[in-house]
């Protein structure tokens, strides 16, 4: 019995040692003699699959637009941005594997706490419209940056109007 046990042990150790060894070096293919003719090339052209245009980045597609601007101290999506938000909602409905984050922002006027809350309300407004347009709630996350991520750092109405926004970011 001890001999059998010893034989099995030696066999197992041998197998393990064989598994643990390095891969053999790859052998380079033998060079082709210069006298051999290359394989003939078929005269018929191969069919090439059309390249799919990325709808999200096509500048002619509404889906390439991803920012919603708001009036001062408001979180209601303006009529001019509704078609864009609805298009993203419909896109998400047909691409259930995609997820987005809606980033709410505010201009610098008001306290940090107030601006964080306002940015959150703006992001939530866009999310609600996305869901009504077909997106699943689980596809859309929201975050508020308040005044911390301004697009324009000037201190005038033109800059502030660029900072009062919600951005749709695909993940």
Q: In this predicted structure, what is the pLDDT of residue 55?
A: 85
Token pair listed for 91: 């896109």
HEC secondary structure over 61-114: CHHHCCEEECCCCCCCCCHHHHHHHHHHHHHHHHCCCCCEEEEEECCCCCCHHH
Q: pLDDT tens for residues 76-99?
A: 999 999 999 999 999 999 999 999
Kindly report the pTM of this predicted structure: 0.69
Side-chain-facing half-sphere of 52: CA atoms under 13 Å: 3
Q: What is the DSSP letter of 166?
A: E
The domain spans of the chain are: 66-170
Q: In this predicted structure, what is the pLDDT of residue 11?
A: 45
Query: What is the band of 159 on the pLDDT scale with cuts at 50, 70, 90?
Result: very high
Report the C-alpha gap between 61 and 77 in whole angstroms: 20
Contact 159, 69 (CB under 8 A): no
Homologous superfamily (CATH) of 66-170 is OmpA-like domain (3.30.1330.60)
Q: What is the gyration radius of the CA atoms in the chain, in angstroms?
A: 31
Share of the chain above pLDDT 70, in %: 69
Torsion 73-74-78-83 (CA) sign: positive
């Amino acid at each position: 019995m001890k001999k059998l046990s010893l034989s099995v042990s030696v066999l197992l150790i041998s197998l393990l040692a064989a598994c643990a060894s390095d891969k053999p070096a790859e052998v380079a293919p033998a060079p082709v003699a210069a006298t051999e003719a290359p394989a003939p090339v078929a005269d018929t052209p191969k069919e090439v699959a059309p390249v799919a245009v990325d709808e999200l980045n096509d500048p002619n597609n509404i889906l390439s637009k991803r920012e919603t601007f708001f009036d001062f101290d408001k979180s209601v999506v303006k009529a001019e941005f509704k078609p864009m938000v609805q298009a993203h909602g419909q896109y998400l409905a047909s691409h259930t594997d995609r997820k987005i984050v809606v980033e709410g922002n505010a201009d610098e006027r008001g306290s940090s706490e107030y601006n964080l809350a306002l940015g959150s309300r703006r992001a939530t407004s866009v999310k609600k419209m996305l869901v009504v347009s077909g997106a699943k709630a689980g596809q859309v996350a929201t975050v508020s940056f308040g005044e911390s991520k301004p697009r324009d750092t000037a201190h005038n109405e033109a800059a502030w109007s660029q900072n009062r926004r919600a951005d749709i970011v695909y993940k």
